[in-house]
Amino acid sequence: MKNKELKILLSAPRGFCAGVERAIEIVEKSIEKYGAPVYVRHEIVHNKFVVDDLRNKGAIFVEELEEIKDKSRPVIFSAHGVPKKIPEDAKNYKMTYVDATCPLVSKVHREAENLYKAGYHLILIGHQNHPEVIGTMGQLPKGSIDLIQNEDEAKQYNFEKDKKIAFVTQTTLSVDDTKDIIQVLKKRHPEIRGPSKKDICYATTNRQMAVKNIAKKCDLFFVIGSRNSSNSVRLVEVAKKSGCENSLLIHSQSEIPYDLIEKSNIIGISSGASAPEILVDNFINELKHRFIVSIDEVEIIKENVVFKVPKKLN
């Protein structure tokens, strides 16, 4: 018997960004062009549903090129970007490769390289072991770029006297995530050079603004996304900071917390940049089995960014 009314505020924009859409399309078009299997180095995007779907279509996911037994098959590099060494290794193996690095990540790579060539020592603000961070640090020779993850590390960072210093940031961190760290760095080293344009990706910014916009009105907030998706985890933090303490990540192993939903009148829903819309639809359909649901989609900005796939796949 449905008797509880539940209002859903659906955050928009949410879900797939242009870089993720392009990466998935690259895998699908590669399978069309080269036949199955094609190999993908690292999860193409951080979402189990997407990875499983592509696996069913003929993609084989590996962490390193060495794992690929049949080197005559093409390999695709994930949207997060790869260290410089990886395309070089692929060439040495005489492998066909397709680079699905998000163009916004590639932009940071080029920026880091240009700053390095201009004589700067680099700082990357980001999360250790995230594939994007590994890829960006791998654009430059060892020792010429340092990672700073938080304010404490910024406070303790040892600035070498006679070096010109510049910083770049991981794209999936928001302006809020990086501003305190940047403040510390600028205070300690006023000559530090920042990126020419903001490196934060438009999709990260838009999704976080959309969540901020509705979180304070919600009793409970859900972000649909994977546990290893940096931007999904951030969205949960943003919802909490913006006034909805009860904010949770819903991932592939999650049980829906009906007990908490029972006590709520308004719930917010968003999804990370690598989460397909079908997961949001499935989640809402589950709620409709138990509650009388009304949905209000709250859009703060229209996104019309499209990134083209590499010419060789057309």
**Over the stretch 69-85, which tens digit does the pLDDT of each residue have?**
999 999 999 999 999 99
* 310 is a domain residue: no
* Residue 194 pLDDT exceeds 80: yes
Q: 281-296: per-residue pLDDT in tens? A: 999 999 999 999 999 9
Average pLDDT of the segment spanning 144-163:
95
**Same domain for 84 and 34:** yes
pLDDT in tens, 26-73: 999 999 999 999 999 999 999 999 999 999 999 999 999 999 999 999
173 and 147 in a common domain: yes
Same domain membership, residue 218 and residue 137 = no
Boundary (domain end) residue, out of 149, 184, 200: 200
Residues 206 and 269 in one domain: yes
Residue 40 shares a structural domain with residue 86? yes
For residues 66 and 41, membership in a common domain is answered with yes
User: Is the residue at 120 inside a domain?
Assistant: yes
Same-domain check for residues 294 and 226: yes
Supply the pLDDT for residue 1: 64
Is the residue at 156 inside a domain? Answer: yes
Q: Look at residue 172 in the predicted model and tell me its pLDDT.
A: 86
Question: What CATH number is associated with residue 96?
Answer: 3.40.50.11270
> Do 8 and 288 meet the contact criterion of CB atoms below 8 Å apart?
no
214 and 290 belong to one structural domain: yes
- Does 212 map to a domain? yes
Distance of alpha carbon 43 from alpha carbon 51, whole angstroms: 7
Of the three residues 47, 79, 102, the one that is the final residue of a domain is 102
Same domain for 82 and 123, yes or no, is no
Report the pLDDT averaged over residues 205-223: 97
Query: At which of 77, 102, 127 does a domain end?
Result: 102
> Residue 147 and residue 44: Cα distance in Å, rounded?
24
pLDDT of residue 32: 97
Decide if 147 is inside a domain.
Answer: yes
Residue 259 belongs to some domain of the structure? yes
Give the CATH number for residue 178. 3.40.1010.20
pLDDT class of 187 with cuts at 50, 70, 90: very high
For the chain, list the strands marked E by DSSP.
5-12, 38-41, 59-62, 75-77, 97-99, 120-125, 145-148, 164-169, 220-224, 247-250, 266-271, 292-299
Task: Based on the fold, state whether residues 191 and 277 are members of the same structural domain.
Answer: no
Report how many domains make up the chain. 3
> 245 and 228, same structural domain?
yes
pLDDT for residue 104: 95
- Model confidence band, residue 314 (pLDDT cutoffs 50, 70, 90): confident
| Structure-block tokens of residue 25 | 């399309």
Q: Would you say residue 311 lies in a domain? A: no
pLDDT at 135 over 90: yes
pLDDT beyond 90 at 190: yes
Percent of the chain with pLDDT over 90: 92
Taking the C-alpha atoms of residue 70 and residue 130, their distance in angstroms, rounded to an integer, is 28
Residue 276 lies in a domain: yes
The larger pLDDT score, comparing residue 38 to residue 199, is at 38
Which residues belong to the active site?
132
* Domain around 232: 5-16+202-299
Is there a single domain that holds both residue 83 and residue 32? yes
Stated pTM of the model: 0.93
Largest pairwise CA distance in the chain = 73
Average pLDDT value for residue range 89-96: 97
Confidence band, pLDDT 50/70/90 cuts, at residue 246: very high
- Least confident window among 2-11, 77-86, 211-220: 2-11
pLDDT at 175: 80
Comparing 160 with 101, the larger pLDDT belongs to: 101
> Where do we find the tokens 């600035």?
159
